[in-house]
């Protein structure tokens, strides 16, 4: 039981959706000189609100502590860059954006997306709380404000210019004060403007057992049913939605002011609502039942790895994403299973994974040590990784990934 209250509607939270035990912050990579120091662990437990059915983590640490030195640079993923470039083309065409428009991105990271609007001559502003990441954006020619977005920031900006396109990818789920954030969007959106937000889809999390996408920095887990309520509470309505493959299955929602009658609700928005209802997402019992599937998967994952070790095979990881840290810490997988993991990001190389202390090495380590099995931790980038590292098969190496259970890939 808990005394926490829902970050959207304020109701008391007492139904467990997934209890992943104690875990360090997923992005707190440990520098080698800190290997023997104490590491803070926090409960990693997702609850669901009985009233609005928002799946969420309890608040446990200030957002500043989590995000001020965030090591994630979006531009290290080529798949994600391509996704962003296509998005920019679609938005320019669908909404007729040009040199007289204003695009604002919330959590604009290193300018990975806005750079494509800049290329097309569309004025942009990025808002990004992590100063080290924002600096990279500014160097690329993407104007960026280093701030946490909310009502206060929106008021200041809206006094000068409101946004014709206001976007945020993988930020809504990471916002501690959800009502302040969405309330700010309401203020910053131009009269006929469009909001688009992308976030992992709760329906996919449940259907594909993606509990490893639960981590401390990821506060809220949205269905279309729930996110509609959140926008409605701030006088906006969602008139369209797309289902995307990114991050194991995401939604891209399209919002407008509630009184903007130029944007009728689409068939696919109606269809998705009906499908979520049919999948039981309107029923608290669906959420309650999920908790047991997580425990079953932990046993299956360990059984798989134990089997490989008993056969004498060497196992390493690929990638050092947040989802990998959730999986390793929840299942208790350390150097006893994974000799090391590799990552393209030089900011992570040389560090240890939080909690499990699996060392992060440059990708070249694969060729040097020729492991038997490479477990791909960012399973959402599986195809890209298998293609780029096909040479692993030259020495008989195999790839493994969760899809949804951890198994060897063909
Ligand atoms: Zn609620």
Query: What percentage of residues in the chain have a pLDDT greater than 70?
Result: 95
CA-wise closest residue to 221 among 195, 251, 196: 251
104 CA distance to ligand 1 centroid (A)? 28
| H or E segment and range at residue 155 | helix 151-158
379 CA distance to ligand 1 centroid (A)? 31
What pLDDT is attached to residue 165? 98
Each residue's pLDDT tens digit, 23-62: 999 889 999 999 999 999 999 999 999 999 999 998 766 5
What does the block give as tokens for 96?
């007729």
156 CA distance to ligand 1 centroid (A)? 29
331 CA distance to ligand 1 centroid (A)? 30
220 CA distance to ligand 1 centroid (A)? 11
283 CA distance to ligand 1 centroid (A)? 14
What are the residue ranges in the chain where pLDDT is below 50? Answer: 1, 68-69, 71
193 CA distance to ligand 1 centroid (A)? 28
What pLDDT is attached to residue 27? 84
What pLDDT is attached to residue 1? 44
What pLDDT is attached to residue 61? 61
Walk across the sheet containing 315-318 and list its strands.
360-361, 341-342, 315-318, 373-376, 398-402, 406-408
Give the number of residues written for the chain: 410
178 CA distance to ligand 1 centroid (A)? 11
Enter the pTM of the model.
0.90
187 CA distance to ligand 1 centroid (A)? 23
227 CA distance to ligand 1 centroid (A)? 11
8 CA distance to ligand 1 centroid (A)? 5
321 CA distance to ligand 1 centroid (A)? 29
203 CA distance to ligand 1 centroid (A)? 18
Cα separation, 188 vs 159, whole angstroms:
9
60 CA distance to ligand 1 centroid (A)? 18
5 CA distance to ligand 1 centroid (A)? 8
12 CA distance to ligand 1 centroid (A)? 8
What pLDDT is attached to residue 130? 87
What pLDDT is attached to residue 78? 77
What does the block give as tokens for 263?
């944007």
345 CA distance to ligand 1 centroid (A)? 37
123 CA distance to ligand 1 centroid (A)? 37
179 CA distance to ligand 1 centroid (A)? 12
53 CA distance to ligand 1 centroid (A)? 6
Phi, psi of 32 (to 5 degrees): -55, -35
DSSP annotation of 396 reads T
Each residue's pLDDT tens digit, 113-124: 999 999 999 999
348 CA distance to ligand 1 centroid (A)? 36
CA-wise closest residue to 168 among 202, 209, 131, 198: 198
Cα separation, 50 vs 201, whole angstroms:
19
What separation in angstroms does the CA of 4 have from each of 23, 56, 182, 229? 19, 11, 21, 20
9 CA distance to ligand 1 centroid (A)? 4
């Amino acid at each position: 039981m808990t005394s926490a209250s829902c970050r959207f509607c304020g109701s008391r939270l007492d139904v467990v959706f997934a209890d992943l035990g104690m875990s360090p912050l997923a992005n707190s990579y440990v520098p080698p000189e800190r290997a023997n120091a104490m590491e803070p662990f926090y409960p990693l437990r997702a609850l669901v609100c009985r009233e609005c059915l928002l799946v969420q983590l309890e608040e446990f640490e200030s957002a500043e502590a989590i995000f001020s030195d965030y090591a994630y640079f979006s531009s290290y993923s080529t798949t994600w860059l391509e996704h962003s470039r296509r998005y920019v083309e679609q938005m320019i065409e669908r909404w007729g954006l040009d040199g007289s428009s204003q695009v604002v991105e919330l959590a604009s990271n290193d300018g990975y997306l806005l750079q494509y609007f800049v290329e097309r001559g569309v004025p942009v502003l990025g808002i990004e709380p992590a100063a080290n990441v924002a600096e990279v954006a500014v160097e690329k020619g993407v104007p960026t404000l280093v701030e946490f977005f909310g009502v206060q920031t929106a008021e200041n900006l809206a006094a000068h210019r409101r946004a014709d396109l206001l976007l945020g990818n993988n930020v809504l789920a990471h916002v501690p004060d959800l009502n302040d954030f969405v309330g700010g969007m309401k203020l910053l959106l131009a009269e006929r403007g469009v909001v688009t937000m992308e976030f992992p889809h709760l329906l996919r999390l449940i259907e594909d057992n993606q509990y490893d996408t639960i981590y401390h920095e990821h506060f809220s887990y949205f269905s279309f049913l729930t996110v509609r309520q959140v926008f409605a509470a701030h006088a906006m309505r969602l008139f369209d939605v797309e289902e995307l493959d990114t991050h194991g299955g995401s939604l891209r929602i399209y919002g407008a002011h509630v009184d903007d009658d130029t944007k009728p609700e689409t068939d696919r928005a109606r269809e998705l609502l009906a499908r979520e209802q049919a999948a039981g997402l309107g029923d608290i019992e669906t959420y309650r039942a999920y908790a047991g599937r997580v425990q079953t998967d932990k046993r299956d994952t360990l059984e798989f790895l134990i089997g490989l070790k008993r056969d004498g095979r060497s196992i390493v990881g690929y990638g050092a994403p947040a989802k990998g840290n959730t999986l390793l810490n929840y299942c208790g997988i350390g150097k006893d299973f994974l000799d090391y993991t590799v990552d393209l990001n030089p900011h992570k190389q040389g560090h240890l994974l939080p909690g499990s202390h699996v060392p992060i090495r440059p990708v070249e380590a694969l060729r040097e040590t020729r492991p038997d099995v490479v477990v791909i931790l960012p399973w959402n980038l599986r195809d890209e990784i298998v293609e780029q590292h096909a040479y692993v098969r030259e020495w008989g190496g195999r790839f493994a990934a969760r899809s949804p259970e951890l198994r060897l890939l063909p």
